[in-house]
Chains A and B, each alone.
Chain A
């Protein structure tokens, strides 16, 4: 069976995928995960999961432009310029466009 390992490098940090290995059962997976991902004390904690138990989802259709829920769905530059002009603002500096 293939087990996937997620490791935490320091307390408080997120668990990041480290790699995988073969093991016949849970006790072996426990031993091998320690060997492969912590024998130099490089992890403070490990999550060890049978690969088959991982539900992978990688399709996220966005057919109808759902960007109104994100910052990159907004471009306020033009409107802001008009608004500032109307309000008689002297200069328009950098503004708040999305990343």
Chain B
């Protein structure tokens, strides 16, 4: 691999962190109580994955996971625009969840074959939890497609998020991902330009501002 390992780890970690933060926006107000509890676990898992990835990157960079998650300038965050979007209505939330999990599966499968044993090992651990996330996303897709209102909303949501989703991966991985999505859906998705990873949505700045508001109130290095 020509890219530094930390670079790759941060990309993944930022995706998981920001998606976890966005998913946690549903905690306490999800469509019904049982789902609230389930979706909150998914948000926690994403953040747990982010933490493990940051810890590995932090060893290479001589820092710690919290500093990587909270204290970098915004320009250094590499998360895909798909995860930056603030809490979406429920069909869009499910669409993003399913698109992200499908893309992530492609990415994690590739990482499991990495020559770097630490990266491959961590990818294996993440994959075991993500399997559950995929089942969760899949059962929602199935139910929404089966209900007229659900299907209409889901279709709209997928069309809207499709260019964002394509931006999560590049090259061959992107093609594999797009093929899997198209194969699953009973309707087509257009050929569109992917929204690239280096683009920052205005919502990212707002989120980073809010997520560091407490942390910034004390000098760097303070304990919380």
Q: How many residues of A contact B (CB 8 A)?
A: 13
Interface-centre pick from A21, A24, A34 (highest chain B CB count, 10 A) = A24
Using a CB-CB cutoff of 8 Å, which residues 36-54 of chain B contact chain A? 37-38, 41
Any chain A CB within 8 A of the CB of B187?
A: no
B143 with A32: CB separation less than 8 A: no
Name the A residues within 8 Å of B41 (CB-CB). Answer: 35, 39
Any chain A CB within 8 A of the CB of B159?
A: no
Name the residue on B nearest A22 (C-beta): B34
Any chain B CB within 8 A of the CB of A54?
A: no
Any chain B CB within 8 A of the CB of A31?
A: yes
Name the residue on B nearest A28 (C-beta): B139
Known contacts A35-B41, A39-B41; is-contact A23 B34 (Cβ 8 Å): yes
Q: A36 to B37: give the CA distance in the assembly, Å.
A: 8
Q: A25 to B132: give the CA distance in the assembly, Å.
A: 17
Using a CB-CB cutoff of 8 Å, which residues 44-88 of chain A contact chain B? none
Q: A31 to B35: give the CA distance in the assembly, Å.
A: 9
Any chain B CB within 8 A of the CB of A27?
A: yes
Name the B residues within 8 Å of A23 (CB-CB). Answer: 34
Name the B residues within 8 Å of A34 (CB-CB). Answer: 132
What's the nearest-Cβ distance from chain B to residue A22, in Å?
6
Name the A residues within 8 Å of B139 (CB-CB). Answer: 25, 27-28, 31
Known contacts A24-B143, A25-B143; is-contact A32 B37 (Cβ 8 Å): yes
Any chain A CB within 8 A of the CB of B74?
A: no
Q: A11 to B142: give the CA distance in the assembly, Å.
A: 34
Any chain A CB within 8 A of the CB of B185?
A: no
Q: A27 to B35: give the CA distance in the assembly, Å.
A: 13
A35 with B38: CB separation less than 8 A: yes
Q: A25 to B136: give the CA distance in the assembly, Å.
A: 13
Q: A31 to B142: give the CA distance in the assembly, Å.
A: 14
Known contacts A23-B34, A36-B34; is-contact A31 B143 (Cβ 8 Å): no
Any chain A CB within 8 A of the CB of B135?
A: yes
Q: A70 to B49: give the CA distance in the assembly, Å.
A: 58
A35 with B34: CB separation less than 8 A: yes
Q: A34 to B136: give the CA distance in the assembly, Å.
A: 12
Extra contacts, 9 of them, besides A28-B34, A31-B135, A32-B37 (Cβ < 8 A), are: A21-B34, A25-B143, A27-B135, A28-B139, A28-B143, A31-B132, A34-B132, A36-B37, A39-B37
Binding site for B on A (CB under 8 A): 21-25, 27-28, 31-32, 34-36, 39
19 contacts between A and B (CB under 8 A): A21-B34, A22-B32, A22-B34, A24-B143, A27-B135, A27-B139, A28-B143, A31-B38, A31-B132, A31-B135, A31-B139, A32-B35, A32-B38, A35-B34, A35-B37, A35-B41, A36-B34, A36-B37, A39-B41
Binding site for A on B (CB under 8 A): 32-35, 37-38, 41, 132, 135-136, 139, 142-143
Nearest 9 Cβ contacts at the A-B interface: A27-B139, A32-B34, A35-B38, A35-B37, A21-B34, A31-B38, A31-B136, A35-B41, A22-B34
